[in-house]
């Protein structure tokens, strides 16, 4: 039986780390990047790690999207990090162009693939990918909630001195400082953390989770997180290619669920071979609902801004009437 085939676009730290973990899960990996030699070199390095870790890893690096043909999953990590002097609008516009281009090139060779989007700003880039691919919502999913929940679980485990394996957590909403960690649905050994931690401690952990990425950026000085994002991507890919029907928090295109229509927002979904098999709707308190609605509104503002920039760019590029 052939191995599942997974393309990872972008051979930077997140892409290469994701490729390593996906390869060690048993999938055949194609690592793609625009920089000549970069994906080839990293793929060769990863292949040479296989004898040491006891894994028959199949991985190639390439600059040619033809080599990605027949992929079951396409992971998009390519994009720019925000540079000094670069506005958020500049970053969003440039990354939208990159995501649009790589999605169009990759899906031309893999019409049945599932897209997993990682590039920031995540929620807006999911919209770009869905439009560029023409795929149904089931086959375009954003990786954010798995990472945010992992951060939440890490801080819970550290606070209580327990194994992270005993913890579970849910984080909903957009990927950013408006995300909505849900303490009522976050447990240790099945016990809600609201029974184990004070309200003040929970609020401190929630706040640290919201700023989890920024905390790492501040410590590294240059660059951002990649080990946890890479592992989060691999878990989603494993759920899809293994048809595991796992319930994971992901950015999904909502069509009325949670009272939201036409927007990618982080919610619990069931992941399987068809991609997003189902959106899981959970009961929210009034406060949780208000926080979720605020987060969705922030995402909507981002997407609307992206549409405005695209329209302005299109108008500027149009030839003057003669």
Q: What is the pLDDT of residues 168-183, one digit of tens each?
A: 998 999 887 889 999 9
Q: Report percent pLDDT > 70 for the chain.
A: 96
Sorted by sequence, the CB contacts under 8 Å of residue 242 that are 6+ apart come out as none
The helix/strand/coil state of 281 is coil
- Are 79 and 10 within 8 A, CB to CB? yes
Domain at 24, CATH number: 3.40.50.720
Indicate if the pLDDT at residue 311 is higher than 80. yes
> Do 165 and 293 fall into the same domain?
yes
Residue 300 banded pLDDT, cuts 50, 70, 90: very high
Segment 225-265, tens digit of pLDDT: 999 999 999 999 999 999 999 999 999 999 999 999 999 99
Which pLDDT does position 198 carry in this prediction? Answer: 97
Comparing C-alpha atoms, which of 142, 141, 169, 138 is closest to residue 155? Answer: 169
Each residue's pLDDT tens digit, 183-201:
999 999 999 999 999 999 9
Task: State the pLDDT at residue 29.
Answer: 98
Mean pLDDT score, 198-206: 97
Do 209 and 236 fall into the same domain? yes
Range of the domain at 178: 145-303
Predicted pLDDT at 17:
98
Tell me, yes or no, whether 318 lies in a domain. Answer: no
Query: Has residue 320 got a pLDDT over 60?
Result: no
Q: Is the dihedral of CA 92, 97, 102, 103 positive or negative?
A: positive
Between the two ends of the chain, the Cα-to-Cα distance in Å is: 61
Give the model's pLDDT for residue 221: 87
Mind listing the pLDDT tens digit for each residue in 52-80? 988 888 999 999 999 999 999 999 999 98
Is 285 found in the same domain as 243?
A: yes
The whole-number average pLDDT for the span 136-146 is 97
Q: What is the mean pLDDT of the chain?
A: 94
27 sits in which H/E element: none
Asked if residue 166 and residue 134 are part of one domain, the reply reads no
pLDDT of residue 322: 46
- Residue 214 included in any domain: yes
pLDDT at 222: 85
37 in any annotated domain = yes
My answer on whether 138 and 200 are in the same domain is no
Last residue of a domain, which of 142, 168, 187?
142
Confidence of residue 319 (pLDDT cuts 50, 70, 90): low
Is 150 found in the same domain as 90? no
Which one of 92, 124, 142 terminates a domain? 142
For residues 69 and 197, state if they share a domain: no
- pTM value? 0.95
Please indicate, yes or no, whether residues 256 and 132 belong to a single structural domain of this protein: no
| pLDDT at position 77 | 98
Catalytic residue flag (residue 109): no
pLDDT per position as a tens digit, 75-98: 999 998 766 676 777 888 899 999
Q: Which of 21, 42, 175, 210 is catalytic?
A: 175
Closest CA to 29 of 140, 227, 49, 274: 49
pLDDT value of position 26: 93
Higher pLDDT, 313 or 162: 162
């Amino acid at each position: 039986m052939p191995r599942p085939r997974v393309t990872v676009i972008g051979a930077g730290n997140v892409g290469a780390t994701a490729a390593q973990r996906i390869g060690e899960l048993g999938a055949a990996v194609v690592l793609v990047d625009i920089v000549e030699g970069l994906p080839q070199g990293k793929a060769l390095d990863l292949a040479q790690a296989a004898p040491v870790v006891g894994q028959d890893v199949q991985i190639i690096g390439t600059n040619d999207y033809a080599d990605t043909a027949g992929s079951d999953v396409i992971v998009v990590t390519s994009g720019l990090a925000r540079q000094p002097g670069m506005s958020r609008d500049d970053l969003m516009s440039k990354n939208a162009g990159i995501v649009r281009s790589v999605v169009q090139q990759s899906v031309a060779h893999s019409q049945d693939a599932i897209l997993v989007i990682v590039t920031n700003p995540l929620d807006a880039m999911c919209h770009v990918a869905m439009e560029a691919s023409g795929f149904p919502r089931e086959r375009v999913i954003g990786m954010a909630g798995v990472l945010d929940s992992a951060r939440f679980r890490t801080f819970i485990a550290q606070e209580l001195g327990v194994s992270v394996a005993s913890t579970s957590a849910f984080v909903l909403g957009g990927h950013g400082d408006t995300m909505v960690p849900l303490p009522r649905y976050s447990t240790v050994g099945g016990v809600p953390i609201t029974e184990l931690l004070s309200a003040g401690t929970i609020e401190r952990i929630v706040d640290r989770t919201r700023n989890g990425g920024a905390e790492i950026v501040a410590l590294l000085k240059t660059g951002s997180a990649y080990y946890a994002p890479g592992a989060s991507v691999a878990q989603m890919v494993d759920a899809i290619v293994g048809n595991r029907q796992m319930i994971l928090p992901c950015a999904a295109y909502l069509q009325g669920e949670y009272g939201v229509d036409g927007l990618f927002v982080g919610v619990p979904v069931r992941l399987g071979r068809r991609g997003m098999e189902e959106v899981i709707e959970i009961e929210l308190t009034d406060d949780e609902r208000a926080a979720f609605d605020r987060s969705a509104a922030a995402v909507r503002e981002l997407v609307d801004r992206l549409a405005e920039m695209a329209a302005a760019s299109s108008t500027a590029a149009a030839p003057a009437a003669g």
